[in-house]
A = this chain, B = another copy of it.
Amino acid sequence: VIVEVAKLAGVSPSTASRVLSNSTYRVSAETRARVLEAAKSLDFVPNALARGLHESHLPVVGVLVHDLADPYFAEIARGVEDAACASGHLVVVASSDRIIEREISYARLLRSMRAEAIVFAGSGTDDETYTHETRRHANAVEAYGGAVVHLSPHARGKADIGYDNHGPMIELVAALAGLGHRRIAYLAGPANLFVARQRLAGFQDGIAAAGLEHDERLIVEADLTAAAGADGIDRLLARDTGASAVVCVNDLAAFGALRRAAELGLRVPRDISIAGFDDISVAAQMAPSLTTIRVPLHELGARAFERVVKVLAGQRPRRVTLPTEVVLRGSTGRHRG
B85 touches A102 (CB 8 A): yes
A81 touches B93 (CB 8 A): yes
- Residue of B81, B112, B285 near A94 (CB, 8 A) is B81
Nearest neighbor of A69 in chain B, beta-carbon distance: B78
> Is A237 an interface residue when CB atoms closer than 8 A count as contact?
no
Give Cα A331 to B94, complex, Å.
35
- Residue of B53, B77, B108, B286 near A93 (CB, 8 A) is B77
Chain B residues positioned under 8 Å from A285 (CB to CB): 226, 255-256, 258-259
> Which A residues from 272 to 306 make CB contacts under 8 A with B?
281-282, 284-289, 298
Chain B residues positioned under 8 Å from A62 (CB to CB): 90
A95 touches B81 (CB 8 A): yes
Task: State the main secondary structure of chain A at its contact with B.
Answer: helix
Interface string of A246-269 (1 = CB under 8 A from B): 000000000110110010000010
A90 touches B95 (CB 8 A): no
Nearest neighbor of A137 in chain B, beta-carbon distance: B45
> Is A136 an interface residue when CB atoms closer than 8 A count as contact?
yes
> Which A residues from 32 to 57 make CB contacts under 8 A with B?
43, 45-50, 52-53
A49 touches B53 (CB 8 A): yes
Please tell me the size bucket of the interface on A.
35 or more
A68 touches B78 (CB 8 A): yes
Chain B residues positioned under 8 Å from A255 (CB to CB): 282, 285
Most B CB atoms within 10 A — which of A46, A49, A50, A67? Answer: A49
Give Cα A286 to B94, complex, Å.
28
Chain B residues positioned under 8 Å from A69 (CB to CB): 71, 74-75, 78, 281, 298
Chain B residues positioned under 8 Å from A75 (CB to CB): 69
Most B CB atoms within 10 A — which of A52, A108, A114, A137? Answer: A52
Chain B residues positioned under 8 Å from A262 (CB to CB): 287-288
Chain B residues positioned under 8 Å from A74 (CB to CB): 68-69, 71, 74
> Is A58 an interface residue when CB atoms closer than 8 A count as contact?
yes
21 residue pairs from A and B, CB less than 8 Å apart: A45-B108, A45-B111, A45-B112, A45-B137, A49-B49, A49-B114, A50-B53, A52-B113, A53-B53, A69-B75, A69-B298, A81-B93, A81-B94, A81-B95, A85-B94, A85-B105, A92-B93, A226-B282, A256-B285, A268-B287, A286-B287
